[in-house]
Amino acid sequence: MTDIRGWVSHGAKQKLEPFTYDAGPLGPEEVEIGVEFCGLCHSDLSILNNDWGLSQYPVVLGHEAVGRIVAAGDQVKGLGIGQRVGIGWTSASCMHCHQCMTGDHHLCAGAVATIIGHRGGFAEKVRSHWAWAVPLPEALDISSAGPLLCGGITVFAPLAIYDVKPTDRVGVVGIGGLGHMALQFANAWGCEVTAFSSNPSKMEEVRKFGAHRVVSSRDRAGILKAANSLDFLLVTANVPLDWSAFLQTLKPNGRMHLVGAVLEPIPVGAFDLIFGQKSISGSPTGSPAAMSSMLDFAARHNIAPQVEHFPLSKVNDAIAHLAAGEARYRIVLDADFT
Ligand SMILES: [Zn+2]
Ligand SMILES: [Zn+2]
């Protein structure tokens, strides 16, 4: 029996409250992590509000947790007490299905989301299967590493999955929590990077993140300034866009890839794909191995999310800040249990 103090919401759209829960015995393949920092991701807000109809209450949010291993089951492999690790969207997978056995653990049908039917990282401690506790490189600044574990891997994985080349031209739509990390990764990958932003006041900042060119995403004419110029277009926005205009920004054989949770169906004309042999795809986060590669790459290239810190005890203020669209660009909560 382990009592863990955390912050809980008892129902949709309710404020988080302090809460102590009995986590039960630690499983033989589980590790328990003493949380030092935990990112606040837009998906936490979606689960809090039950936007996707998947939420289970009471819910302990937080799926970008960073901290040291404080306990380990006797079947845990490759990790030791005191080691610093991170946990992202997924905290366990079955480890024996085709997806798990071929390195696509994040596509496992039995994967456990850290904040759905599992207690997340807005707590003193969080648990995961050992495979999903990803060691953090020494060079990484741990106070800003949290958002890499969900947002970071989400925008990094497509570059690897679709074999984006340094000679490619990459576009990023939506320069927010995900997009500002995508610009940094695509730039360090060696690509020429075009940012599509709805907010021209951000232009200078957007260039600092690694965009070589900034184009307005507000109107069709603005988008079409980039017509026929991109090999790969990463859409991080979660609102409906002028999809046919964005498809026109792709060169032949180009791909538009979705990582933003746009809830409305996307209308696409068949000819928009057929002429030019274009593709549309989507992906969730990434496997533990992909997370590990992403963290190494981030450390090597000094890639870090730009974060604002709140103490975990002010989590409701942080959620209000995020919900108001004011986060620049990600929020990290600092564990402050005494
Ligand atoms: Zn997330
Ligand atoms: Zn599996």
Q: Confidence band (pLDDT; 50, 70, 90) for 42?
A: very high
Tens digits of residue pLDDT in 261-320: 888 999 999 999 999 999 999 999 999 999 999 999 999 999 999 999 999 999 999 999
Q: Confidence band (pLDDT; 50, 70, 90) for 17?
A: very high
Ligand nearest, relative to CA of residue 112: 2
Partnered with residue 232 across adjacent β-strands are: 170, 255
Burial class of 123 by CB neighbour count within 10 A (0 to 12, 13 to 18, 19+): buried
For residues 288 and 80, give the distance between their C-alpha atoms in angstroms, rounded to a whole number: 17
For residues 75 and 9, give the distance between their C-alpha atoms in angstroms, rounded to a whole number: 33
Right CATH number for 3-150+286-334 from 3.10.290.10, 3.90.180.10, 3.40.50.300, 3.40.50.150?
A: 3.90.180.10
Q: List the single range of 3-12, 39-48, 91-100, 237-246 with lowest mean pLDDT.
A: 237-246
Q: Confidence band (pLDDT; 50, 70, 90) for 1?
A: low
Q: Transcribe 119-160 into DSSP letters.
A: --SSBSEEEEEGGGSEEPPTTS-HHHHGGGGTHHHHHHHHHH
Q: Confidence band (pLDDT; 50, 70, 90) for 25?
A: very high
CA 147 / ligand 1 centre spacing (Å): 8
Smallest CA-to-CA distance from 185 within 114, 259, 122, 251 is with 259
CA 335 / ligand 2 centre spacing (Å): 32
CA 163 / ligand 2 centre spacing (Å): 24
Ligand nearest, relative to CA of residue 40: 1
Ligand nearest, relative to CA of residue 105: 2
CA 128 / ligand 2 centre spacing (Å): 15
202 pLDDT higher than 70? yes
235 pLDDT higher than 70? yes
Q: Give whole-number Cα distances, 308 to 10, 38, 256, in Å.
A: 26, 12, 30
Domains in the chain: boundaries: 3-150+286-334, 152-282
Smallest CA-to-CA distance from 127 within 70, 59, 74, 83 is with 70
State mean pLDDT over 185-211: 93
Ligand nearest, relative to CA of residue 104: 2
Ligand nearest, relative to CA of residue 330: 1
Helix (H, G, I), strand (E, B) or coil at 39: strand
CA 40 / ligand 1 centre spacing (Å): 8
- Are 88 and 114 in contact by the 8 Å Cβ rule? The answer is yes
CA 196 / ligand 2 centre spacing (Å): 36
CA 286 / ligand 2 centre spacing (Å): 13
Q: What percentage of residues in the chain have a pLDDT greater than 90?
A: 93
- What residues flank ion ligand 2 with Cβ within 5 A? 93-94, 97, 100, 108
Beta carbons within 8 Å of 275's beta carbon, 6+ residues apart: none
Burial class of 235 by CB neighbour count within 10 A (0 to 12, 13 to 18, 19+): buried
Residue 139: its pLDDT value, please?
A: 93
Q: Confidence band (pLDDT; 50, 70, 90) for 201?
A: confident
Element (H, E) at 331: strand 330-334
CA 170 / ligand 2 centre spacing (Å): 32
Mean pLDDT in the chain?
96
CA 203 / ligand 2 centre spacing (Å): 42
Ligand nearest, relative to CA of residue 43: 1
Residue 172: its pLDDT value, please?
A: 98
Which stretches within 146-263 are classed as H helix? Answer: 151-161, 179-188, 203-208, 220-224, 243-248
Tens digits of residue pLDDT in 134-165: 999 999 999 999 999 999 999 999 999 999 99
CA 103 / ligand 2 centre spacing (Å): 9
Residue 203: its pLDDT value, please?
A: 86
CA 56 / ligand 2 centre spacing (Å): 22
CA 224 / ligand 2 centre spacing (Å): 42
Tracing tokens 């690509």 back to the chain, one arrives at 191
In this structure, whether the domain defined by 152-282 belongs to CATH 3.40.50.720 is answered with yes
246 pLDDT higher than 80? yes
Partnered with residue 215 across adjacent β-strands are: 196
Residue 255: its pLDDT value, please?
A: 98
For residues 190 and 178, give the distance between their C-alpha atoms in angstroms, rounded to a whole number: 19
CA 282 / ligand 2 centre spacing (Å): 20
CA 100 / ligand 2 centre spacing (Å): 4
For residues 323 and 334, give the distance between their C-alpha atoms in angstroms, rounded to a whole number: 19
CA 12 / ligand 1 centre spacing (Å): 18
Ligand nearest, relative to CA of residue 44: 1
Helix (H, G, I), strand (E, B) or coil at 311: strand
Residue 238: its pLDDT value, please?
A: 86
